[in-house]
Amino acid sequence: MILTSRPSAALRAGLLGLSLLLSGAALAQDTVTLRFVQTNDIDRMSAEKGRGGFARLAAVVKEEKAKGNAFFVHAGDTISPSLLSGFDKGAHIIDILNRMGVDAMVPGNHEFDLGPDAFRARMKEARFDVLATNIIDGNGLPENTKADKMVEVQGVKVGFFGLTTEDTPIASSPGDIKFASTIDTARTKAKELREKGVDIVVALAHTPLEVDMIVARSAGVDVIIGGHDEHLLAFYDGKVVLSESESQGNYINVVELAVTKTTKDGKTSVSWTPNFRIVDSAGVKPDPEIEAVVKGYEDKLSKELDVEIGVTETPLDSRRATVRGGEAAIGNLIADALKSSVGADVAITNGGGIRADKQYEAGQMLTRRDILAEMPFGNTTVLLEVKGEQIKAALENGVSQVRELGGRFPQVSGIVAEVDLKEPVGSRVKSVRINGEPLDPAKTYKLATNDFMARGGDGYRAFVDAKSLIDVSASQLMASQVIDYVAKAGKVAPKVEGRIVLR
């Protein structure tokens, strides 16, 4: 005989109530903290004035990864422009990044500066995920790149994809490589990742800030890790995070997301809150392993590059705002060297091609390294036969983005131009003189410029159909011509003298 006991009516009612309560309750998992450690626009290997460079960046990455759930993400522009890239086409940068544990990177426009073959070669060498979502090479993605990447962290699914600016064919040299719409790509890929169950969608976006904001407002992403503008930026509008880490590893943004997944009635919802930490690398002790690698590369260059060539008797300033925002003494020096080297009537070079972002004191000795750091792209000087009207059209293009600090700003020799910035783009150049004489629209002039601009780079379409007197196959490195120009003179004294007068 088996005796059983039954719960009382009161107890049965209580259990039923508890069951009903639990069936309607939201069951939440523990909060998961994700960390995105960001860099972008870094091509300088070493620190400058105690800040930036790969060794300090590597130290921050290691520290954050030790905390767990951390992704090291790179928002592009890295294999160029740099001093050593002029020699090895960026191979040293990929070697360093391979040692640093990159989780995902999007190519920036500068990944194409050295041509499509160099881009393809560097991508093949990468031992990390390169997300080239809107890049089309032939019939598909570039070799050894991906359209997206999905990772699960403690039940939270994270999806990454990459956006490379559509301006790359204008700003760089991708050859036959194409770029699909960044905004359309973002919308399509974000939807696709959501349909695959991704909880947090991350766009690595090497795009202008105005494009970043359109993506933020309309593409359905959660996080945008941005590059290209070189801002130090931490933005959150209640729905989307946007981060950018200035440049050169000077600052490292760490974006933290506290993510909670909740299940109710069989449906799962995800909520998260952000936290931003901006690390000033000046206070970071360099990682010894990466520091040793960087030193090895620097030592290989020093013997050849640290050779004195001449003195500048006047101060020089190659900072971004200076060379892109107006006439600059160093721009005059470079343009004068190009004009002299090929026997041109005039010379125009783009301020965005002057890259070292530094100042030189009056009386400072210049070295080969200084000049190559200013012109790291490996551009050559071509000599074109152009009409006066083409020169004016080129100058109009050059001053079309002054307020935006566009890289197309013209640094010139043999030219004096008056510009009214209050006028509409295309109607700003009010007068032009060529070697003291008024520009004749119908007259033919010999113009020196770089090969990038000669093929229409930075919007210089006026030069595309010009007759070549010295073409690329017969041209010489700009940097070598400037080095020879300074070395021959022994002393140079360039200054701002009213070649481009902005009103």
pLDDT tens for 396-410 read 999 999 999 999 999
Mean pLDDT of 368-383: 93
Whole-prediction pTM: 0.77
Report pLDDT for 399.
Answer: 98
pLDDT score of 8 more than 60: no
Among 269, 264, 272, 271, residue whose Cα is nearest residue 26? 264
pLDDT score of 10 more than 60: no
- What would the two tokens of residue 94 be? 């990929």
Beta strands 200-206 and 156-164 are parallel
pLDDT score of 7 more than 90: no
Report pLDDT for 301.
Answer: 81
Backbone angles phi, psi at 342, to 5 degrees: -115, 5
- What would the two tokens of residue 75 be? 């928002």
| pLDDT band with cut points at 50, 70 and 90 for residue 86 | confident
In the chain, DSSP finds a helix count (H) and a strand count (E) of 15, 29
- The one-character DSSP state at 48 is B
CA 230 vs CA 61, 209, 215, 444: distances in Å: 20, 10, 18, 40
Report pLDDT for 492.
Answer: 98
Strand runs (DSSP E) across 237-379, as ranges?
241-245, 251-264, 267-280, 308-312, 316-317, 346-350, 359-360, 364-367
Question: In angstroms, rounded to a whole number, what is the distance separating the alpha carbons of residues 98 and 406?
Answer: 32
Query: What are the residue boundaries of the structural domains of the chain, listed by start?
Result: 27-294, 308-502
Report pLDDT for 170.
Answer: 87
The sheet with strand 437-438 has its strands ordered as: 437-438, 429-434, 415-419, 500-502
Among 455, 453, 410, residue whose Cα is nearest residue 428? 410
Angle between helices 478-489 and 329-342 (to 10 degrees): 100
Residue 90 three-state SS: coil
Report pLDDT for 25.
Answer: 52
- CATH code, residues 27-294: 3.60.21.10
| pLDDT band with cut points at 50, 70 and 90 for residue 426 | very high
Q: Tell me which amino acid residue 289 is.
A: E
Question: In angstroms, rounded to a whole number, what is the distance separating the alpha carbons of residues 306 and 128?
Answer: 34
pLDDT score of 62 more than 90: yes
pLDDT tens digit sequence for 109-156: 999 999 999 999 999 999 999 999 999 999 999 999 999 999 999 999
Q: Report H helices in 106-181.
A: 116-125, 168-171
Residue 162 three-state SS: strand
Q: How many Cα atoms occupy the beta-carbon half-sphere of 435 within 13 Å?
A: 11
Mean pLDDT of 436-464: 97
Among 387, 317, 315, residue whose Cα is nearest residue 346? 387
Mean pLDDT of 82-100: 92
CB contact burial 233-248 (16+ within 10 A = b; e otherwise):
bbbbeeebbbbbbbbb
The percent of residues in the chain predicted with pLDDT above 90, rounded, is: 86
The sheet with strand 308-312 has its strands ordered as: 364-367, 308-312, 491-492
Chain CA centroid to CA 488, Å: 35
- CATH code, residues 308-502: 3.90.780.10
Query: How many residues are given for the chain?
Result: 503
Question: In angstroms, rounded to a whole number, what is the distance separating the alpha carbons of residues 107 and 227?
Answer: 10
- Judge whether 72 and 78 are in contact, CB under 8 Å: no
- Judge whether 109 and 135 are in contact, CB under 8 Å: no
In this structure, how many other beta carbons lie within 10 angstroms of the beta carbon of residue 499? Answer: 20
- What would the two tokens of residue 464 be? 């595309």
Q: Tell me which amino acid residue 93 is.
A: I
- What would the two tokens of residue 161 be? 């994809």
Least confident of 13-17, 224-228, 351-355: 13-17
What rounded mean pLDDT belongs to the chain? 93
